Amino acid sequence: MKDRPFNVVKEAMRSGSGNASPSFVSNLLGVQESGEDTSIDDELIKSISGIIYVGGIDTVDIVVQFFFIAMILHPNVQKAAQKELERVIGSNTFPTFKDRPNLPYINALCKEVLRWHPVTPVGIPHLLKHDDVIGGYFIPKGTLVMGSTWSLLHSEAVYGSDVNVFNPERFLKEGVKDPDFAFGYGRRICPGRDMADSMLFILFASVLHTFDIKPHGTTLPNLDELIPGTFS
């Protein structure tokens, strides 16, 4: 995960074969070779690129799976999204990031996928460095605290009484809180959240603009068969 991809890129750059595609690793190796930043060494590049891979490969993949499940279970939502894309983009080109401000329904759909079934329903453990009192409860130093992401993103006070229903239109209303808790909380919130958000937007928009998503046969996905865990 760290060494082999790195070595492939480095060897391609060293050979001058032109096989080193532009990437995070090739960019940093270029900076290292130029001497612009002497703090960049091979181990740093390998570690950072490995963390980016690990931090996004499971989580983004799971969100994409739930996107397809939601589109299969809610064809009316899929059609509404496709109509917006057809109206804004037309039929002769693909969506781009420049189109995003003009695609409110697609943006709402992205938010609803994150809210409807959060990838990490109990979040990542946090450790108290000092004694604290929250809501009248004393929590001693060294306590592990698990945030209930599922509860936060299924709060009827915040998202309405239909929290278990997949409904992107809730995010078209004024004052509805974005599902930021899907990426964690506080200082330890996912540092790759902006990258993930951009990836999900362009993927969802491109797929919906190109394909109709339908079940294989007559069997629909059954959410009751999901297995709970750190990643769900």
**What gap in Å lies between CA 7 and CA 46, rounded to an integer?**
9
Q: Residue 30's CB: how many other CB atoms inside 10 A?
A: 13
Q: Is 110 annotated as a binding residue?
A: no
Residue 117's CB: how many other CB atoms inside 10 A? 23
Long-range contacts of 176-181 (CB under 8 A, 24+ apart): 178/111, 179/111, 179/112, 179/114, 179/115, 179/118, 179/153, 181/118, 181/123, 181/147, 181/149, 181/152, 181/153
Classify each residue of 35-51 as buried b or exposed e, where b means 16 or more C-beta atoms within 10 Å of its C-beta.
eeeeebeeeebbeebee
Q: Are 152 and 123 in contact (CB under 8 A)?
A: no
| Ordered DSSP codes for 117-170 | S-SSTT---EE-SS-EEETTEEE-TT-EE---HHHHHT-HHHH-TTTTS--GGG
The answer to whether 63 and 200 are in contact (CB under 8 A) is: yes
- Which amino acid is it at 156? E
Residues annotated in the binding site for heme, as ranges? 190
Residues annotated in the binding site, as ranges? 190
